[in-house]
Amino acid sequence: MIDQLSRCHPRITINLLTAQTQALHRKLFDRELDLLIARRFGALADERLDFDALFNDSYVVVGSAQNPLTRRGRISLAELVGESWVLPGFESVPSAVLADAMRVAGLNYPHATVVTNSAEVRMKLLMSGRFVTIFSTSALRFSDRRSGLKVLPVKLLMSAIPVGIMTLKNRTLSPVTRLFIEHAREVAKPLAMGKR
């Protein structure tokens, strides 16, 4: 989306910040950010925010194409508990999703061999064939390493999580911010329709 926007409007400067959602919320409230693209769990907790849904995201357990688990039929979560997991920090969205899925299945959260919030490091470690992890389907879709990764045939019991644009209510958005939002909606259309 940023590539498309910068090609159409080469004089725009986009300052992209990635961090944990709570830190970004503070920056939005302090008007250091114009908007957030984030996941929403349940009802919007803060009445100062507007949420414009772009698409629904889901999560999958992933390994490399060399991992023997990818050649199996159906796998239960119980069979994965003892695997070598590379996971993001426990405060992250994917870890919360995995914790919920394990709890529903009556299992404890798996032991993480490696804990890192870097998706790049997690993907790199997956390529060894030893590790498994959890990713959102949208992260996999836009990854340049997706050809070496395979979704494991394991069902995570959870509903789709909306991803959208958060802005402050009653805040007038700049023309550039509105343009950014229009481009985000356009790029998200295939995801919203469930297309690959």
- Burial class (CB within 10 angstroms; exposed 0-12, middle 13-18, buried 19+) of 96: middle
**Contact yes or no for 5/179 (Cβ under 8 A):** yes
Which has more pLDDT, 48 or 132?
132
Q: What is the CA radius of gyration of the chain?
A: 18
Q: 14: which DSSP letter?
A: -
Give the pLDDT score at 196: 47
Given a cut of 80, whether residue 183 has pLDDT beyond it is: yes
Give the pLDDT score at 22: 77
- How far, in Å, CA of 14 to CA of 113, rounded? 36
Which domains, ranges and CATH numbers included, belong to the chain? 2-56+160-192 (3.40.190.10), 59-151 (3.40.190.290)
Q: 6-25 pLDDT, tens per residue?
A: 999 999 998 888 877 778 88
**Contact yes or no for 165/90 (Cβ under 8 A):** no
Give the pLDDT score at 159: 66
Tell me what percent of the chain is helix, strand and coil, each rounded to the nearest 5. Answer: 35, 20, 40
Q: Measure the N-to-C terminal CA separation of the chain; round to a whole number of Å.
A: 16
Q: 77-127 pLDDT, tens per residue?
A: 999 999 999 999 888 888 888 999 999 999 999 999 999 988 889 999 999
Write down the residue that tokens 């999580």 correspond to: 161
Over residues 144-152, the mean pLDDT reads: 77
Given a cut of 80, whether residue 195 has pLDDT beyond it is: no
Query: What is the residue-wise DSSP string for 92-113?
Result: SHHHHHHHHHHHHTT-PPPPEE
Q: 29-51 pLDDT, tens per residue?
A: 999 999 999 888 666 667 888 99
